[in-house]
Amino acid sequence: MTDSKEMPQFPEPYWRESIDFPSFPKLEEKIKVDVGIVGGGIVGVTAAYLLSKQNLTVALIDAGVILNGTTGHTTAKITAQHGLIYDELMKHFGEDKAKLYYEAQIEAKQLIEKHMDEHNIDCDYETQDAVIYTNSDDYITKLENEKTAYDQLGIEGDLIDKIPLDIPHKKALMMKNQAQFHPLKYLKVLAEESIKNGAQFYENTTAIDVEYNKHPAIITRDGHRIICRYVFVASHFPFYDGQGFYPTRMYAERSYVLAAKAAKKYPRGMYISAEEPTRSLRSITVNGEELWLVAGENHKTGQGKATLEHYQALQDFAEKHLDVQAYAYRWSAQDLTTLDKVPFVGRISAEEEAVFVATGFRKWGMTNGTIAAKIISDKIVGNDSPYEELYTPSRFQADPSIRKFMRINADVAKHLIKGKLEFTDNRIQDLAADDATVVRLNGRRAGVYKDKNETLHAIDSTCTHMGCEVEWNSGERTWDCPCHGSRFSYTGDVIEGPAKRPLERIDIEKG
């Protein structure tokens, strides 16, 4: 944690820095379990806990470090107020399903509370009201429509004119009795309990495929197998598609978070703007000191302005409205949104009975992720879930998804073509330290990063997923793909899928 008005030089989420979490070995052998889980975020860890409690043998693997992906970079609001959503869900799915969506979030909140009680978990849990505010006349009507949807669905909420923040606003919609917490303090205990129940955790173990013999087997990059009765793909972007065409049905967005110490005292509540650019606020307490979390600036991964400008925009907002004394942390997150905004949770495809997936939480992973783990765990132990049909990945609602489907896939095609045609006359000699550029090396498009010691790192800039061209992310020093959100370190290693293979490294001397 820094204590200056300068933005921290390196991104680092508070959550991960503030807990001691053990590291786990790499999988080095063939193993056999009831359930193989891929992905160590809130979904994977909650499912490992629920399933191991039912005396099933569980192995959870993560390509990187457990609890360090999207779950480690969240703002950790436990709320059923997912922006403006209920009016849209009612129009798109009908009243019954909109209500089910709300009930799923409330059940997730209750499940988190139950686990906290059962294991006496101290995770900075606080009941807070959730509030969407607007300063736009257009959005006042949208808030009013959302309130009408609340009333029809039996959601307790109030339209209010004033919120206790010095931020311009004309109207707000409050959902009472939601919550916030420290997600990793909570999940650390679920992970420990899972291990006590016999679950095995492995890190730095990348799953690359699922194969079938008598049973499904997860295949790792090192050629090891986890033979299972069931596979649960909880790897954010599904590492295995199962012919579910997930890349065409979801898009990836990045968003940014600053933690700031301010002269102004944080009022109670969790806030989010209805209109763009999104501004989301909550507080955290670090060593007895109150910090404001200021989040927002969403954009499609690998697209838009330079990443540091997004942090700068949040900083400008904080300076203007908070009376900032110091910036303690900054970090960013990546989230996936499905075409109809409801996550995909269920069988990965109709043909594959024993492979389940959970993805597409649209930034609301604390509740959607928890309920996803419950739905799949129930399914595996033979219990039906009332939410199964709502979340099923095999649904296809034509309107408005189809228009968005066309737009998203046209966007992908544009980036595929752009990469092949774009000519660049950037020169490595012009690169400043800690900066990157795209150049032609022997006719090949290459990304080159010059680190602080002036060492050059060059990679082939064609994404190993489906061939789009990656873009430099100056805030995180990564190469990000605009098509489906794969992210790579400056040396080309995969940080985030769907890509499974690293970018090819190029020896600049040889080209």
Using CB under 6 A, list all residues that contact ligand FES.
247, 463, 465-468, 481, 483-486, 498-499
Q: Which residue, 322, 232, 231, 310, is CA-closest to 281?
A: 322
Q: How far is the CB of 481 from ligand FES (least distance, A)?
A: 3
Smallest distance, Å, CB 405 to ligand FES? 16
Tokens representing 464 are 């190993």
Q: Which is closer to ligand FES, CB of 232 or CB of 251?
A: 251
- Tell me how far, at minimum, the Cβ of 202 lies from ligand FES, in Å: 25
| Parallel, antiparallel or unpaired: strands 225-233 and 355-359 | parallel
| In 237-376, beta strands by DSSP E | 250-262, 270-273, 279-286, 289-300, 324-338, 344-347, 355-359
The 10 Å Cβ neighbour count of residue 91 is 14
Minimum distance of ligand FES from residue 409's CB (angstroms): 11
Q: Please, what is the minimum distance in Å from the beta carbon of residue 236 to ligand FES? A: 12
Is the preceding peptide bond at 498 cis, omega within 30 degrees of 0?
yes
Q: Which is nearer to ligand FES, 347 or 465 (CB)?
A: 465
Taking the C-alpha atoms of residue 146 and residue 187, their distance in angstroms, rounded to an integer, is 32
Please say which residue, 45 or 495, places its beta carbon nearer to ligand FES.
495
**Cα atoms in the Cβ-side hemisphere of radius 13 Å centred on 179:** 19
CB of residue 245 to ligand FES, shortest distance in Å: 12
Please identify, using beta-carbon distances, which residue of 179 and 499 lies nearer to ligand FES: 499
Closer residue to ligand FES, CB minimum distance, 226 or 483: 483
CB 415 within 8 A of CB 468: yes
Instruction: Quote the CA–CA distance of 173 and 180 in Å, as a whole number.
Output: 18
255 or 486: CB nearest ligand FES = 486
Please tell me the number of Cα atoms within 13 Å of 116 on its side-chain side. Answer: 17
Is the peptide bond preceding residue 400 cis, with omega within 30 degrees of 0? yes
Nearest approach, Cβ of 480 to ligand FES (angstroms)?
A: 9
Quote the tokens at residue 104. 């799923």
Closer to ligand FES by CB, 227 or 466: give it. Answer: 466
What is the spatial distance between Cα 430 and Cα 2, in angstroms, rounded to a whole number?
32
Angle at CA 331, nearest 5°, toward 250 and 102?
45
CB of 483 vs ligand FES, minimal distance in Å = 4
Q: 393-424: b or e for each residue (b if 16 or more CB lie within 10 Å)? A: bebeeeeebeebeeebeebbeebbeebeeeee
Question: Which is closer to ligand FES, CB of 88 or CB of 496?
Answer: 496
Q: How far is the CB of 428 from ligand FES (least distance, A)?
A: 24
Between residues 11 and 247, which has the closer beta carbon with respect to ligand FES? 247
CA–centroid distance for 61 within its chain? 18
56 CB-side CA count, 13 A? 24
| Structure tokens that stand for 355 in this block | 């492979």
Cβ of residue 211: shortest distance to ligand FES, in angstroms? 22
Q: How far is the CB of 465 from ligand FES (least distance, A)?
A: 3
Residue number with CB closer to ligand FES (296 or 485): 485
Nearest Cα to Cα of residue 284 among 260, 255, 317: 260
Tell me whether residue 39 or residue 485 sits nearer to ligand FES (CB atom): 485
Query: Residue 90 or 499: which CB sits closer to ligand FES?
Result: 499
- Cβ closer to ligand FES: 75 or 235? 235
Find all residues with CB under 8 Å of 200, minimum gap 6, and list them. Answer: 31, 33, 58, 59, 60
In the complex, least distance from residue 271 CB atom to ligand FES, rounded to whole angstroms: 33
Give the span between the Cα atoms of 328 and 322, in whole angstroms: 14
- CA gap 351, 394 in Å, rounded: 11
Beta bridge partners of residue 289, listed in sequence order: 286
In the complex, minimum distance from the CB of residue 147 to ligand FES, in angstroms, rounded to a whole number: 39
Say if residue 277 is preceded by a cis peptide, omega within 30 of 0: yes
Residue 6: helix, strand or coil by DSSP?
A: coil
